[in-house]
């Protein structure tokens, strides 16, 4: 049988107790090994030959391998001895939409990133430096994966700030805080606060049951133009078919007169005199061309297909 997540987290928490906190001197020593190994790896990427890299650094191939091994071992040690910090930060983000195990995993990725970028020569404690990397990894994971609709990180951080203000004020006053109190405590304007609260609302499924008897779905209550869309598509296809039929059966002038006479181009039907003004012919000439076009259309073998398209 597989180990449940709760048990796996418990085993993880028990295992990390084997790694005590490091002194700053130990952290610096490990970090220097990592930095040295990173420099070698950078050269390997550019030169793509271990012997050439060893010659460039004036060391033997065996010493080069030793540097890489010590760097990897140092990174593993620095990570393992700071996993307690990951757990501590992850605990503060419980009940934010991600399981505790996922929070620990994301925080560990942030910790690993911190070991790769830490500069031991700047005099900063590694725990202080890695704190922001871990926190950033955890908060971004929550922002990316805890909701159906992803919120930008800056919106998520402001929402977390608002929730914190709500908890503090409620503990202090013994009641739910007002909008004005939250805005003052979190230093956010009420207009923005209302917007952020709208962002926090979770989406509902269209199949969500509503009503007193819970027998109606949300989608049944929402206006829909889906039928209008189908009608528009059908009308467009019919128009294309008629246009293709006219082009194949009539001359360009005949087609123009028929379209104007019956309003096939989306305009109101024209009189023969109006058509004459458009095409530059007399009313009698237009009528003659119109009658000839009608006879050609009626004699066309495809006329019945076009008739079937028109209601």
| pLDDT above 70 (res 223) | no
Q: What is the pLDDT of residue 222?
A: 65
Fold of the CATH domain 227-309: Arc Repressor Mutant, subunit A (1.10.10)
User: Cβ(302)–Cβ(245) under 8 Å?
Assistant: yes
Q: What is the pLDDT of residue 310?
A: 64
Q: What is the pLDDT of residue 6?
A: 52
| pLDDT above 60 (res 227) | no
In whole angstroms, what is the distance from residue 88 CA to residue 11 CA? Answer: 16
| pLDDT above 60 (res 184) | yes
| pLDDT above 60 (res 133) | yes
Q: Which residue in this structure is represented by tokens 């390997």?
A: 44
Q: Give the DSSP letter of residue 222.
A: S
> pLDDT digit string (tens) for 44-65?
888 888 888 888 889 998 999 9
Coil, strand, or helix at residue 19? coil
Q: What is the pLDDT of residue 218?
A: 67
In whole angstroms, what is the distance from residue 1 CA to residue 48 CA? Answer: 46
Q: What is the pLDDT of residue 129?
A: 94
* 251 phi, psi to nearest 5 deg: -75, 170
- Choose the weakest-confidence range: 81-90, 112-121, 246-255: 246-255
User: Cβ(112)–Cβ(80) under 8 Å?
Assistant: no
| pLDDT above 90 (res 116) | yes
Coil, strand, or helix at residue 176? coil
| pLDDT above 70 (res 241) | yes
DSSP string, 182-220: HHHHHT--HHHHHHHHHHHSPP--TT-EESTTS-EEHHH
| pLDDT above 60 (res 225) | no
CATH number listed for the domain at residues 5-149: 1.20.120.1810
DSSP string, 110-127: HHHHHHHH--GGG---HH
Q: What is the pLDDT of residue 142?
A: 85
Residue 194's pLDDT band, with cuts at 50, 70 and 90, is: confident
- Choose the weakest-confidence range: 105-109, 217-221, 249-253: 217-221
| Alpha-carbon distance values, 197 to 153, 160, 193, 201 (Å) | 15, 11, 6, 7
Express as a percent the part of the chain with pLDDT over 70.
90
| pLDDT above 60 (res 3) | no
| Alpha-carbon distance values, 94 to 150, 197, 264 (Å) | 18, 20, 65
- Choose the weakest-confidence range: 16-30, 52-66, 144-158: 144-158
DSSP string, 223-240: ---HHHHHHHHHHHHHHH
Q: Which residue in this structure is represented by tokens 């608002």?
A: 162
Q: What is the pLDDT of residue 4?
A: 41
Domain extents for the chain? Answer: 5-149, 163-200, 227-309
Q: Give the DSSP letter of residue 26.
A: H
In whole angstroms, what is the distance from residue 74 CA to residue 68 CA? Answer: 10
């Amino acid at each position: 049988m597989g180990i449940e997540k709760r048990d796996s987290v418990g085993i993880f928490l028990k295992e990390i107790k084997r790694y005590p906190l490091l002194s700053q001197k130990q952290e610096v020593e490990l970090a220097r090994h990592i930095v040295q190994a990173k420099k070698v790896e950078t050269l390997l990427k550019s030169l793509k030959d271990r012997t050439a890299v060893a010659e460039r650094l004036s060391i033997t191939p065996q010493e080069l391998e030793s540097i890489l091994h010590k760097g990897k071992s140092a990174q593993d040690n620095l990570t393992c001895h700071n996993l307690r910090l990951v757990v501590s930060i992850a605990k503060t983000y419980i009940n934010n939409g991600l399981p505790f195990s996922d929070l620990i995993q994301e925080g560990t990725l942030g910790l690993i990133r911190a070991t790769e970028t830490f500069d031991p020569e700047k005099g900063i404690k590694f725990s202080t430096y890695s704190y922001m990397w871990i926190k950033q990894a955890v908060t971004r994971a929550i922002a990316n994966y805890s909701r159906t609709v992803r919120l930008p990180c800056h919106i998520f951080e402001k929402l977390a700030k608002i929730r914190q203000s709500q908890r503090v004020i409620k503990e202090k006053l013994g009641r739910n805080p007002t909008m004005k109190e939250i805005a003052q405590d979190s230093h956010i304007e009420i207009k923005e606060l209302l917007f952020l609260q709208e962002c926090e609302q979770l989406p509902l499924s269209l199949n969500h049951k509503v009503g007193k008897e819970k027998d109606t779905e949300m989608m049944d209550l929402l206006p829909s133009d889906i039928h209008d869309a189908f009608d528009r598509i059908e009308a467009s296809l019919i128009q294309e078919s008629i246009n293709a039929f006219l082009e194949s059966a009539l001359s360009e002038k005949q087609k123009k007169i028929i379209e104007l006479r019956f309003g096939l181009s989306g305009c109101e039907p024209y009189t023969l005199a109006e058509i004459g003004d458009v095409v530059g012919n007399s009313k009698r000439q237009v009528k003659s061309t119109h009658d000839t076009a009608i006879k050609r259309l009626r004699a066309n073998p495809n006329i019945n297909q076009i008739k079937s398209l028109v209601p």
